[in-house]
Structure 1
Amino acid sequence: MTTVRTAPPAATTPGAGPAGRPPRGRGPVRRTLAYVSLLAVTLLVLLPLGWMISSSLKRDNEVFTTPIEWIPREFRWSNYVEIWEQIPLATYLGNSAFLAIVITFLQVLTGSFAAYGFAKVRFPGRDGLFLAYIATIAVPWQAYMVPQYILMQRAELIDTHLSIILLQAFGAFGVFLMRQYYLSIPDDLCEAARIDGLSEYGIYRRIILPLSKPALASLALLTFVNTWNDYMGPFIYLTSNDLWTVQLGLRSFVGQYQADYAMIMTGAVLSVLPVVVVFLFGQRYFIQGIATSGLKG
């Protein structure tokens, strides 16, 4: 007589389906809740921007009405024409764009090049030097603000764009970001290129840079936004109105026309618009670069 052995029942968890699988319908519900939560957070973040845009299309006495009127009674598109006549906004935007583009290019160039040395070139004291350089991020800007100003003053660079460009052409954060990304690139590629006779400059230009587009885009976007929104740097070093950035120009406009709320919001919208456009074009590379820059340390 033969006996038939039966397999033991599969282990299940309370509330789970066969073989430990979640019951049907729970996956779509969780996904829907996640999307609703993300949508709510997105709307909460965009709420101030929406109020600013709405206020820029109103009259001055309609900006702070209670309750808030999200849709203006009358869309005053003329605000976007009058703002150019009241202040030299084109000059301010041009100065901000010039500084942001030049400083972004220099920081991407210097940051990526220094990061290549710290990540792919072996030399004595490399790691210690890198730690010492990165430690400067923890030093507050106020600690060396006065020495920097004295240095620029003795160089006779006060009230010039060159002073801001020289002070912001290098950044420890950019070196750190690019080095973390370079560490995810196999060293075998560099070794093979060295065996083939390629110089370090050639490896950096022909191998590393083409593989680093996401990290380069991330660094460029962060630097551009930070430079565009910088207020203290231009406030300290720039005194001529022709050299002011849009942040200084809007602050001066607010001081002169404190009750012109709609026009102030119009200027704020125009100052934010370039940053939004740059982010929309580079968000794919930005997200990819940030996600992969911290994989290897």
Structure 2
Amino acid sequence: MNNKVKNILWYVILLSFSLIFVLPIIWIFISSLKTSNEIFSWPPTILPNEVTFSNYITAFSKGNFVTYFKNSIFVAVTATALTLLINSMAGYALAKFDFKGNKVIFFLFIATLMIPLQVIMVPIFIVLRNLGLYNSLWGIIIPPAATPTGVFLVRQYMTTIPDEVLESARIDGASEWRIFSMIILPLSKPVLTALTIFSFMWRWNDFLWPFVVLSTESKYTIQVAIANFVGQFSVDWNSLLAMNIVAMIPVLLVFLFFQRYFVKGIAMSGMKM
């Protein structure tokens, strides 16, 4: 079997596996264009007999969908920017500064990956409440800003940057801040792009922490709002499917915009997909 046949075979196998993840999304999108009767019809129809966009109109008109969407955009963008700033600084310090306890601190960062949010949620909530951030969008932005995964990715990538480049800059009189902002950050563009995608996705899809912190409906993020569409005795499936499709769009756009840097950043940081 020549290489061309092997490549085709691998593409077919990978495409088959990818369909396992893509088909549910396609089914949700198709179902969001169906009427209520057709969604529950048996046998189910693959394509809608009558395409309707009323589900999307109903979803946008119910409650404050636009407000929920704006809240999620604000949280995801602000939290991502804060995550990039904090994690890039921490990664730079752990990768390029040789100080006592460097490896211990890095180990502690990695060790926190094994601690689930549910274990530390109560003490974090108490601190948050004492700081006056309860029922505030900043209450769901600040606590998860410094992510151990982000620090790990950035630190591993920055270790590949030659120390000679930094030493040359120091000899020329560049300050540490100038080295960080003018040399380290531009060279770390691939991993920071990968972290941007991860962080935006984490914050956009986060449900548990916003559900605990936010109590006013006008401050709900879109994930909490979607959960509220599930009633005690009934579920508005039409609007629920439409809202889920709309909620996927920002994450998809971010990934499509940054995808060419994504694989490179992951590969050079040593993280396994």
Contact kept? 2:34, 2:50, Cα under 8 Å:
yes
Match of 1:145 among 121, 129, 140: 121
Residues 181 and 215, structure 1, Cα contact 8 Å, conserved in 2? yes
How far apart are the structure 2 equivalents of 1:168 and 1:104?
Answer: 10
In the aligned structure 1, how far is the partner of 2:244 from the partner of 2:64? 14
For the residue of structure 1 that corresponds to 2:48, the secondary structure is coil
Within 5 A, what are the aligned runs for 1:99-248?
99-248=75-224
Whether the 8 Å CA contact 2:72–2:204 is kept in 1: the answer is yes
Q: Distance in 2 between matches of 1:197 and 1:259?
A: 65
**What is the distance in 2 between the residues matched to 1:62 and 1:260?**
14
Q: Which residue of 33, 37, 59 corresponds with 2:9?
A: 33
Classify the secondary structure of the residue corresponding to 1:94. helix
Q: 5+ unaligned residues in a row in structure 2: which ranges?
A: none
* Deviation digits for residues 234-276 of structure 1 (CA, Å, limit 9, x no counterpart): 1001000010000111111122783432221011101111111
**What SS does the corresponding residue of 1:255 show, helix, strand or coil?**
coil
Kindly provide the amino acid, as one letter, of the partner of residue 243 in structure 2: G
Deviates more, 1:59-68 or 1:93-102: 59-68
Q: CA deviation at 1:222?
A: 0.2
Question: Residues of 2 paired with 1:182 and 1:195: CA distance?
Answer: 20
Aligned to 1:94: 70
Residue 82 (structure 1) aligns with: 58
CA distance in 1, matches of 2:105, 2:262: 28
Query: What is the percentage of aligned positions where both structures have the same residue?
Result: 41
- 1:191 is displaced (CA, Å) by 1.1
Q: Secondary structure at the match of 1:167?
A: coil
The structure with the larger Rg is 1
What stretches of structure 1 of length at least 5 have no aligned partner?
Answer: 1-24
Letter in 2 for 1:215: V
Change (3 A) 1:240 1:183: same
TM-score by length of structure 1 reads 0.87
Q: How many residues align?
A: 271
Structure 2 CA distance for aligned equivalents of residues 267 and 58 of structure 1: 14
